[in-house]
Amino acid sequence: MVGHWIAGAPTPGSGERLGDVHDPATGRVTRSVALAAPADVEAAVAAARAAFPAWRDASLAKRTAVLFRFRELLNARKGELAELITAEHGKVLSDALGEVSRGQEVVELACGISHLLKGGFSENASTRIDVYSLRQPLGVVSIISPFNFPAMVPMWFFPLAIAAGNTVVLKPSEKDPSAANFIAALWKEAGLPDGVFNVLHGDKVAVDGLLEHPDVASVSFVGSTPIARYVYETGTRHGKRVQALGGAKNHMLVLPDADLDLAADAAVNAGFGSAGERCMAVSALVAVDSIADELVAKIRERIATLRTGDGRRGTDMGPLVTGAHRDKVVGYVEAGVREGAELVVDGREVVPDAADEDAVAEGFWLGPTLFDRVGTGMSIYTDEIFGPVLSVLRVSGYDEGLELVNANRYGNGVAIFTNDGGAARRFRNEVQVGMIGVNVPVPVPVAYYSFGGWKASLFGDTHAHGVEGVHFFTRGKVVTERWLDPSHGGLNLGFPQND
């Protein structure tokens, strides 16, 4: 059983409700996870609140020493963490390792937080008066994360939050909960004081408890758009600082001058990596008419070489996370056929490379699926499918492609493939999307820039990690200071002016 991690130790909590955790490559239930009751929320927040004063007052040198030790432990043991992720999420091992490495980048950024927390100082802003700014932690911060990156997404937030002096309650996805506890144990080994990093497992009860709790100062949420909107509205109504990252429909626009072999490789990698369960997956390929036939043919050839199966068997693409999610994605494939799109590759026919016959039958399998001639009114285009389904939409040229991308309700990531620098430059200026790749299909920013989309892909105004992350987890103060000497005597009731 996967219990909570509160005040530096695993605990089953109230144990009133449990959820099933599956191995998606076999379909079997492998663990159960505690689903928090309100009393468990209370215990986790109380532990974080109790740990805050001492952690806040720990020097930057002491805090960053813990961060450096955590980084070393994570680096040494990331293989074990990746195995845990594959066993509960289903993504292939190399991909799980990749997500840990990208999360580790934020830990490395947080190791240098001393530099990012420096304030400004203006000597003699007024005569013999100095003005300076400083940034202080918020207190207890909460992180609510999705199933698709059980290590990386929490790591977008907690390294900076902890380095800045906050204490954390992480509520991971109940579908793949074990990574969070593994990380909590690493923190303890690194010397983080008990209660600074807590893990609360659960569902809506846990989330609502955090959103309403008076001792929780902020909420960093990542998940689907309807829940992101709910979290933003509920959290802000309760006076919290909220950043809520939502769903996506990421486009890849391919212009006629692009290298079509590179574009086809990129479309397959970005469309089917992690079985399309990435918020930065490419799900809509926008091809200019003149090259569309050739590009679709190249993508089809490449899909034929992919091996779908158990992520521990050296395959290219694993199963989907749950049976219910696989069925939902299959429902979209059926809808695409019904609505008149051309089904070029049908993933429902996949024969997975699985551990045994039972796993072939019971794993949550769906192979790479390719649709051509998709219309903007079809549900496979309008909805975020979050599976291995790539839709090709055909346009007459750059202008129609840009218009199509900008008309979409989401604005997380986008890519343009072209060898025309002028077109790429126009695109990055004109496209209404937060993260842009130029000949880069999955443009997840490095840790020292910030991650976040526009429109229905993010509620709030602060993106994750980078300088924006440091700002989110700190509050500013400005001090106006004068050390008195005899020249300062006398009464003056006027509004203070600078001289």
When asked if residue 283 is in the footprint of ligand NAD (CB under 6 A), the reply is no
Size of the site for ligand NAD (CB under 6 A): 27
The one-letter amino acid code at 326 reads R
Instruction: Name the segment binding ligand NAD (CB under 6 A); options: 133-141, 200-208, 332-340, 350-358.
Output: 200-208
DSSP state at residue 495: P
Shortest Å distance, C-beta 452 to ligand NAD: 7
Helix pair angle (60-89, 93-111), 10° resolution: 170
Shortest Å distance, C-beta 263 to ligand NAD: 23
When asked if residue 387 is in the footprint of ligand NAD (CB under 6 A), the reply is no
When asked if residue 217 is in the footprint of ligand NAD (CB under 6 A), the reply is no
When asked if residue 247 is in the footprint of ligand NAD (CB under 6 A), the reply is yes
Q: Which is nearer to ligand NAD, 181 or 412 (CB)?
A: 412
When asked if residue 227 is in the footprint of ligand NAD (CB under 6 A), the reply is yes
Contact 177, 18 (CB under 8 A): no
CA 320 centroid distance within chain: 18
Structure tokens at 473: 């987890």
Residue 9 in 3-state DSSP? strand
Contact 343, 337 (CB under 8 A): yes
Contact 400, 416 (CB under 8 A): no
Which of 64, 94, 224, 462: binder of ligand NAD (CB under 6 A)? 224
Q: Which is nearer to ligand NAD, 96 or 245 (CB)?
A: 245
When asked if residue 453 is in the footprint of ligand NAD (CB under 6 A), the reply is yes
When asked if residue 457 is in the footprint of ligand NAD (CB under 6 A), the reply is yes
Strand ranges in 405-492 using DSSP code E only, listed in sequence order: 410-411, 413-417, 435-438, 454-455, 458-459, 474-481
**Rounded to the nearest 5 degrees, what angle is found at the Cα of 256, between the Cα atoms of 253 and 260?**
80
When asked if residue 207 is in the footprint of ligand NAD (CB under 6 A), the reply is yes
* Residues 399-428 within binding reach of ligand NAD (CB under 6 A): 412
Shortest Å distance, C-beta 73 to ligand NAD: 25
Shortest Å distance, C-beta 133 to ligand NAD: 30
Phi-psi region of 166 (alpha: psi -120 to 50; beta: other; left: phi over 0): beta
Q: Which is nearer to ligand NAD, 136 or 379 (CB)?
A: 379
* Residues 134-153 within binding reach of ligand NAD (CB under 6 A): 144-149, 153
From residue 168 to residue 187, the character string flagging contacts with ligand NAD as x (rule: CB under 6 A) and all else as - is ---x-xx-------------
Active site residue 111: no
Shortest Å distance, C-beta 455 to ligand NAD: 11
Catalytic residue, from 67, 151, 279, 392: name it.
Answer: 279
Contact 4, 11 (CB under 8 A): yes
Please give the full DSSP string across 317-383, using - where no structure is assigned: B---S-HHHHHHHHHHHHHHHHTT-EEEE-GGG---B-SSHHHHHHS-----EEEES--TTSHHHHS
CA 69 centroid distance within chain: 24
Shortest Å distance, C-beta 153 to ligand NAD: 6
Strand order in the sheet with 9-11: 9-11, 4-6, 197-199, 167-171, 140-144, 216-222, 241-245, 458-459
Q: Which is nearer to ligand NAD, 182 or 386 (CB)?
A: 386
Phi, psi at residue 249, to the nearest 5°? -140, 100
Which of 3, 223, 309, 460: binder of ligand NAD (CB under 6 A)? 223
When asked if residue 299 is in the footprint of ligand NAD (CB under 6 A), the reply is no
Q: Which is nearer to ligand NAD, 153 or 354 (CB)?
A: 153
Which of 55, 386, 427, 473: binder of ligand NAD (CB under 6 A)? 386
Contact 215, 49 (CB under 8 A): yes
When asked if residue 243 is in the footprint of ligand NAD (CB under 6 A), the reply is no
Shortest Å distance, C-beta 244 to ligand NAD: 9
Q: Tokens 């590179």 belong to which residue?
A: 262
Shortest Å distance, C-beta 252 to ligand NAD: 16
Mind telling me the catalytic residues?
279
Residues interacting with ligand NAD, by CB under 6 A?
Answer: 144-149, 153, 171, 173-174, 203-204, 207, 222-224, 227, 245-248, 279, 384, 386, 412, 453, 457
